Amino acid sequence: MTRTESSPRIGLARALSKRGYCSRSKAFDLIRAGRVTLNDRICRDPEAPVHSDRDRIEVDGEELAAQAKLYLMLNKPRGVVTTASDEKGRETVYACLDEHLPWVAPVGRLDKASEGLLLLTNDSEWAARVLAPETHLDKIYHVQIGALADAALIESITKGVRIGSASLLHAKSVQILRGGAKNTWLEIVLDEGKNRQIRRMLSQLGIDVLRLLRVAIGPVVLGDLPKGGSRSLTAQEKLALDRAMRQASAGRGRRLR
């Protein structure tokens, strides 16, 4: 007996997200409001199974075709939040984007007070690979601290800081970029993505963070992109990032054998 090949089934809300129409949380709202049809029937179940490559999905009567994949970088300004909407009414990163762009989602986050390189995409599988723990892409930050850095501070950050019962937080590397009379700019490299990691480490050491700017994710560099500006990744940047992720995953596989 021959088995017919078929695409794996996914939930309806996820299918809307994968086709680049909206975030999964927004998809839940649309589906529950009765605005989505699946194969010409209104479906109010966000988890209804869908064959993404052959089932017909419509939103408000318009058929949903897969969007072209977009890979963007944004120079996030200080003071905006990395979310699609904010319950406190604060400005979000979407205010920096062209309103005619298809829906894209941030790849990870930068907190409200942090600045710099943020990736956005409508390719949810690619975003998941960028964020996966096994990928271990280096993320480079330039951090202005309200103290004069010395060798002891650099050693403390690289050896690691334990906060309560949490796991050890540490940087892959730290170097002094420049110093003033009362503050220092550091370059801090992380190869893991724990929430507010740099701020938590430095706070535990009694150090104030004055500015925190992400300047690179793997081989993709912020460069001279103006604050609040965005652009598509070049083909070379996308290929370099994909190659770095493959190499990191392959290296981890060899270490585990």
Residue 29: inside a domain: yes
Asked if 84 and 28 touch (Cβ cutoff 8 Å), the reply is no
Q: CATH no. for residue 179?
A: 3.30.2350.10
Of 35, 63, 91, the last residue of a domain is: 63
> Which whole-number Å values give the CA distances from 249 to 70, 173, 211, in the listed order?
23, 21, 32
Residue 66 has pLDDT above 90, yes or no: no
Residues 127, 132, 138, 139, CA torsion sign: positive
212: burial class by Cβ within 10 Å (0-12, 13-18, 19+)? buried
pLDDT at 231: 96
CA nearest neighbour of 118 among 244, 254, 195, 220: 220
Asked if 199 and 207 touch (Cβ cutoff 8 Å), the reply is no
Return the top range by mean pLDDT from 13-22, 40-49, 50-59: 40-49
User: In terms of domains, do 238 and 117 share one?
Assistant: yes
Residue 4: inside a domain: no
Residue 224: inside a domain: no
User: In terms of domains, do 143 and 205 share one?
Assistant: yes
Q: Indicate the residue type of 210.
A: L
pLDDT at 116: 97
Residue 5 has pLDDT above 70, yes or no: no
Greater model confidence, 100 or 143: 143
User: In terms of domains, do 59 and 76 share one?
Assistant: no
User: In terms of domains, do 164 and 190 share one?
Assistant: yes
| Dist. CA 14–CA 110, nearest whole Å | 24
Asked if 70 and 122 touch (Cβ cutoff 8 Å), the reply is yes
pLDDT at 14: 85
Q: CATH no. for residue 90?
A: 3.30.70.580
Active site residues: 111
Residue 223: inside a domain: no
Q: How confident is the model at residue 236 (pLDDT cuts 50, 70, 90)?
A: very high
Residue 1 has pLDDT above 90, yes or no: no
What is the arithmetic mean of pLDDT over 197-211? Answer: 94
pLDDT at 253: 54
> Torsion-angle region of residue 215: left (phi > 0), alpha (psi -120 to 50) or beta?
alpha
pLDDT at 254: 55
Share of residues in the chain with pLDDT > 90 (%): 56
pTM here is 0.80
User: In terms of domains, do 102 and 151 share one?
Assistant: no
Residue 2: inside a domain: no
Alpha carbons within 13 A on the beta-carbon side of 92: 13
| Dist. CA 104–CA 212, nearest whole Å | 24
Q: CATH no. for residue 47?
A: 3.10.290.10
Residue 42: inside a domain: yes
Range of the domain at 18: 9-63
Residue 222: inside a domain: no
User: In terms of domains, do 57 and 75 share one?
Assistant: no
Q: In what helix (H) or strand (E) does residue 18 lie, and over which residues does it extend?
A: helix 12-18
| Dist. CA 16–CA 53, nearest whole Å | 12
pLDDT at 183: 94
Q: How confident is the model at residue 235 (pLDDT cuts 50, 70, 90)?
A: very high
Q: How confident is the model at residue 21 (pLDDT cuts 50, 70, 90)?
A: confident
User: In terms of domains, do 105 and 125 share one?
Assistant: yes
Q: Copy the structure tokens of residue 68.
A: 């072209």
Residue 256 has pLDDT above 90, yes or no: no
Domain count of the fold of the chain: 3
User: In terms of domains, do 36 and 161 share one?
Assistant: no
Instruction: Give the model confidence (pLDDT) of 93-102 as tens digits.
Output: 999 998 888 8
User: In terms of domains, do 162 and 126 share one?
Assistant: no
User: In terms of domains, do 75 and 199 share one?
Assistant: no
Q: Copy the structure tokens of residue 159.
A: 């050896």
User: In terms of domains, do 119 and 240 share one?
Assistant: yes
* Terminal-residue alpha carbon distance, the chain: 38
CA nearest neighbour of 149 among 188, 200, 190: 188
User: In terms of domains, do 15 and 40 share one?
Assistant: yes
195: burial class by Cβ within 10 Å (0-12, 13-18, 19+)? exposed
Residue 225: inside a domain: no
